[in-house]
Amino acid sequence: MFSDIYKVQLENIFEGPMDLLIYLIRKNEVNIYDIPISLITNRYLEYIEWLKAMNVDIAGDFLVMAATLIHIKSRMLLPVHEDSDEEDPRQEIARPLLEYLRMKSAALQLNERELLGEHTFIRSPAKTSGAGNLQDREIRVDLFELIQAFQRIIDNLSPDIAIDVVAEKLSIKDRMIELIWLLKDRGSLIFQELILSLDGKIEIIITFLAILEMVKRNAASIIQHTDTGNITLYLNESP
């Protein structure tokens, strides 16, 4: 018995009580208009028990359905008056089941259509494909990532550059102005390339601080490429 239920779980993951019920009805090959309520209720409860045994959290929906089934089962046991116009208690479950099946079939029919963006395409590519190339998708970076990139560059510097003493004074402000000119000229700067073009640790640090300052002042933004890891600096539109 339990191995039987076990097999059920392997081939199916039921999203809700309706799915489980449909599965049980199909598996037991019973007529939906004439559900052997006792059999189906028992199977259903066995399944719930099994879920409990597997320590699966049973959603309340499953229990509500269990209660409904038991309620129908008990009503079936009551004698029905000959002249009573009371409907078959099983209608309570058969009707929603049929409705659900109808919608399931409708979903399948929709899925079989020639879908825009999958089977058929229109000229405007923005509608059917992603905005731009996948490779151009970018994520915003935080300062930690920027600092890490900076650290990697410092680590990669050869020692002789590191001991270079820079005599001339370069201020962060001057560097910012230079960077803004560069950005206005080129549109964007790749951080790694920018740093490698510089001479000496002091200049790199000044440049780095200048970038931080610009980002802080909202004059520029930094964006990291998802694939290459390149950090790019952009000038913000001045308000």
Which chain residues interact with other proteins by CB under 8 A? 11-12, 15-19, 22-23, 25-27, 31-33, 59, 61, 65, 96, 98-111, 113-131, 133-134
Which residue is associated with the tokens 């370069």?
170
Q: Which is nearer to other proteins, 18 or 183 (CB)?
A: 18
Q: Determine the residue type at 156.
A: N
Q: Give min distance, CB of 225 to other proteins, in A.
A: 17
Q: Give min distance, CB of 57 to other proteins, in A.
A: 14
Task: Give the total residue count for the chain.
Answer: 239
- Asked if 141 and 223 count as a contact pair (C-beta separation under 8 A), the reply is yes
Q: Which is nearer to other proteins, 96 or 187 (CB)?
A: 96
Q: Which is nearer to other proteins, 9 or 230 (CB)?
A: 9
Q: Which is nearer to other proteins, 59 or 196 (CB)?
A: 59
Q: In whole angstroms, how far apart are CA 112 and each of 66, 119, 129, 182, 184?
A: 34, 10, 21, 54, 52
Q: In whole angstroms, how far apart are CA 187 and each of 37, 174, 221?
A: 72, 19, 12
Q: Give min distance, CB of 32 to other proteins, in A.
A: 6
Q: Which is nearer to other proteins, 116 or 196 (CB)?
A: 116
Which tokens is 236 given? 């913000």
Q: Give min distance, CB of 1 to other proteins, in A.
A: 18
Which tokens is 128 given? 């059917």
Q: Give min distance, CB of 230 to other proteins, in A.
A: 21
**Residues near 54 by beta carbon (within 8 Å), at least 6 away in sequence:** 9
Q: Which is nearer to other proteins, 39 or 162 (CB)?
A: 39
For 54-133, where are the alpha helices, taking DSSP H only? 60-77, 91-111, 125-128
Q: Give min distance, CB of 47 to other proteins, in A.
A: 14
- Asked if 44 and 66 count as a contact pair (C-beta separation under 8 A), the reply is yes
Phi first, then psi: give them for residue 188, nearest 5 degrees: -150, 160
